[in-house]
């Protein structure tokens, strides 16, 4: 018997009292790659729904004995408000369609079936369903415990970054993250913390460059009552607040040299002295630091050499987005899916828009890509909305792609080649698990199967 490691994905429920037609429809949908359940009555449909939590879409016949399609639609939706229902009818009138949609249906198809039309309609609806479920799960995971699986990437360079970060998470050593602004260093730091033995303890982030110079020491190490004007009570400071957990020091290179001396003591002696205090306080924290400066700058001018060696125990360099086109492709789709959920409408990118993004230099990296798409989606009410290259181009730095920053993909580079390579990489990263690969790509399994056939993968 063939076994599989794939987890159950969204299923389609076919409800029709005509057994032959229901069987034909089931066979058609299974050939399209869907998991299908069949019910021959309203009561049977409700029983199937109760026993299968993965039902995401129901194809419901309009005219059935005992419980008709519209009544069944209302009950199915009452039990699962997220369920997508499509009415099947041989009596396609405007009144029927409007009534069905008022009762909770998403759309309708007519009998006899135009199977090509059914394929396209269900493909569109199931893609939205699966993207919605994927984004919801990602956001839920991020709220609970952001970990490496939530970092959206497919490039080989980011795969190396994540592998090194996973190894770092298994130790208690200090970690130094290098990378341009907007590459996601804080998200990576949170993932390291979440995958470490300190995951249940606090993660406290502080931007060393954003703290006023005269307050850096008291903010980090706390102070005692009366230590300075305005110190009306003892305050613990960031390190004490993060005791047992992780302190993320962003923009480490901006930290004043006199504060670096005290930070070195915390790392070496596992204790600190609050400003105005006479006694030391034990502290147990792990340091993950980040900077957009180079290692050479940190070591030669910005950090004390002894602190540099303490901090740079494990160094992880995050590559800029412009050097990893696969991630531009998959991130743009990921952000489109997240925006679709946020605004309650379908949002996608046109092919010319994706090609424009692939050619752009992205000085602001992942943060810039996310903000670009948010800016275009926020000022539109189109449903569905297709973000175009004409909308994106005026928002790019310089108004056009940075030719010198384009990845070296060869003269024969095309959108099809990029997509084919990205799908192959997703399959490799997922160990051949197509459900996981589709999730990584931000597309439905149906779309992935279609692409596999298209590119003969």
Q: Pull the structure tokens for residue 175.
A: 């970690």
Least confident of 17-31, 92-106, 146-160, 252-266: 92-106
Q: Which range scores top for mean pLDDT: 93-107, 119-133, 368-382?
A: 368-382
What's domain 156-318's architecture? 3-Layer(aba) Sandwich (3.40)
CA distance 12 to 35: 6
CA distance 345 to 325: 27
Half-sphere exposure of 72 (CA within 13 A, CB side): 33
Answer yes or no: are the C-beta atoms of 455 and 416 closer than 8 Å. yes
CA distance 50 to 79: 9
Give the residue extent of every domain in the chain.
11-142, 156-318, 322-454
Residue 93's pLDDT band (boundaries 50, 70, 90)?
low
DSSP 8-state secondary structure symbol assigned to residue 394: G
Residue 454's pLDDT band (boundaries 50, 70, 90)?
confident
373 or 213: which carries more pLDDT confidence?
Answer: 373
Least confident of 53-67, 94-108, 267-281: 94-108
DSSP 8-state secondary structure symbol assigned to residue 7: P
455 or 47: which carries more pLDDT confidence?
Answer: 47
Helix or strand run (H / E) with residue 356: helix 351-359
Percent of the chain with pLDDT over 90: 39
Quote the pLDDT of residue 97: 66
Structure confidence by residue, pLDDT tens digits, 4-47: 334 456 789 999 999 999 999 999 999 888 889 999 999 999 99
Q: Is the pLDDT of residue 92 over 80?
A: no
Least confident of 204-218, 249-263, 426-440: 426-440
Structure confidence by residue, pLDDT tens digits, 193-234: 999 999 999 999 999 888 877 778 888 888 877 767 776 777
Residue 3's pLDDT band (boundaries 50, 70, 90)?
very low
Quote the pLDDT of residue 117: 85
Average pLDDT, the chain: 84
* Distances from the Cα of 85 to the Cα of 2, 61, 69, 125, angstroms: 32, 10, 10, 10
263 or 236: which carries more pLDDT confidence?
Answer: 263
Helix or strand run (H / E) with residue 412: none
Answer yes or no: are the C-beta atoms of 88 and 60 closer than 8 Å. yes
DSSP 8-state secondary structure symbol assigned to residue 428: H
Q: Detail the DSSP E strand segments found in 81-146.
A: 84-89, 107-110
CATH 3.30.300.30 assigned to domain 322-454? The reply is no
Q: Pull the structure tokens for residue 404.
A: 């010198």
Quote the pLDDT of residue 279: 84
Assigned CATH for 11-142: 3.40.50.2300
Q: Whose structure tokens read 């175009």?
A: 388
Quote the pLDDT of residue 146: 53
Range 379-389 burial, b when 16+ CB lie within 10 A, else e:
eeeeeebebeb
Q: Pull the structure tokens for residue 37.
A: 């359940």
* Mean pLDDT score, 291-316: 93
Quote the pLDDT of residue 362: 94
Q: What is the dihedral of CA 136, 366, 323, 364, to 10 degrees?
A: 170
Structure confidence by residue, pLDDT tens digits, 308-319: 999 999 999 999
Could you check whether 11-142 and 156-318 share the same CATH topology? yes
Strand partners, 60: 15, 87
CA distance 395 to 448: 31
Answer yes or no: are the C-beta atoms of 37 and 2 closer than 8 Å. no
* Mean pLDDT score, 278-286: 87
Structure confidence by residue, pLDDT tens digits, 355-368: 899 889 999 999 99
Q: Is the pLDDT of residue 188 over 50?
A: yes
Structure confidence by residue, pLDDT tens digits, 165-181: 999 999 999 999 999 99
* Mean pLDDT score, 250-262: 89
Structure confidence by residue, pLDDT tens digits, 113-150: 888 888 888 888 887 776 666 656 555 544 544 578 77
Q: Is the pLDDT of residue 379 over 50?
A: yes
Structure confidence by residue, pLDDT tens digits, 324-343: 988 998 899 889 988 998 88
């Amino acid at each position: 018997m063939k076994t599989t490691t794939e987890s159950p994905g969204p299923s389609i429920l076919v409800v029709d009292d005509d057994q032959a037609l229901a069987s034909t429809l089931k066979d058609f949908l299974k050939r399209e790659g869907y998991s299908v359940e069949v019910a021959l009555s309203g009561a049977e449909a409700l029983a199937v729904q109760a026993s299968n939590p993965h039902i995401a879409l129901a194809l419901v016949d309009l005219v059935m004995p005992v419980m008709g399609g519209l009544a069944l639609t209302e009950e199915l939706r009452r039990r699962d408000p997220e369920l997508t229902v499509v009415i099947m009818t041989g009596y396609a009138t405007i009144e029927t369609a409007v009534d069905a949609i008022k009762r909770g249906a998403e759309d309708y198809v007519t009998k006899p079936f135009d199977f090509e039309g059914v394929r396209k309609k269900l493909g569109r609806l199931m893609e939205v369903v699966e993207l919605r479920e994927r984004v919801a799960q990602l956001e839920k995971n991020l709220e609970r415990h952001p970990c490496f699986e939530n970092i959206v990437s497919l490039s080989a360079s980011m795969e190396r970054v994540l592998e090194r970060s996973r190894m770092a998470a298994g130790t208690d050593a200090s970690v130094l993250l290098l990378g341009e602004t907007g590459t996601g260093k804080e998200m990576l730091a949170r993932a390291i913390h979440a995958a470490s033995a300190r995951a249940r303890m606090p993660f406290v982030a502080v931007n060393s460059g954003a703290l006023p110079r005269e307050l850096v020491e008291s903010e980090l190490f706390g102070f005692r009552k009366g230590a300075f004007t305005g110190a009306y009570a003892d305050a613990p400071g960031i390190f004490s607040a993060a005791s047992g957990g992780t302190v993320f020091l962003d923009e480490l290179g901006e930290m004043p040299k006199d504060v670096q001396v005290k930070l070195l003591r915390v790392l070496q002696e596992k204790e600190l002295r609050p400003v105005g205090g006479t006694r030391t306080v034990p502290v147990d924290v792990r340091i993950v630091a980040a900077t957009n400066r180079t290692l050479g700058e940190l070591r030669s001018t910005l950090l004390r050499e002894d602190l540099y060696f303490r901090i740079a125990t494990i160094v992880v360099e995050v590559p800029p987005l412009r050097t990893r086109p696969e991630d531009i492709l998959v991130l743009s789709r990921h952000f489109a899916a997240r925006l679709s959920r946020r605004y309650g409408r379908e949002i996608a990118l046109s092919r010319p828009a994706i090609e424009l993004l692939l050619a752009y230099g992205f000085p602001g990296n992942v943060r810039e890509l996310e903000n670009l798409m948010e800016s275009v989606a926020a000022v539109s009410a189109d449903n569905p909305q297709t973000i175009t290259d004409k909308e994106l181009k005026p928002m790019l730095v310089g108004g056009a792609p940075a030719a010198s920053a384009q990845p070296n993909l060869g003269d024969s580079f095309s959108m099809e080649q990029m997509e084919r390579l990205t799908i192959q990489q997703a399959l490799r990263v997922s160990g051949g698990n197509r459900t996981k690969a589709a999730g990584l790509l931000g597309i439905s399994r149906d779309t992935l199967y279609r692409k596999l056939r298209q590119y003969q993968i």
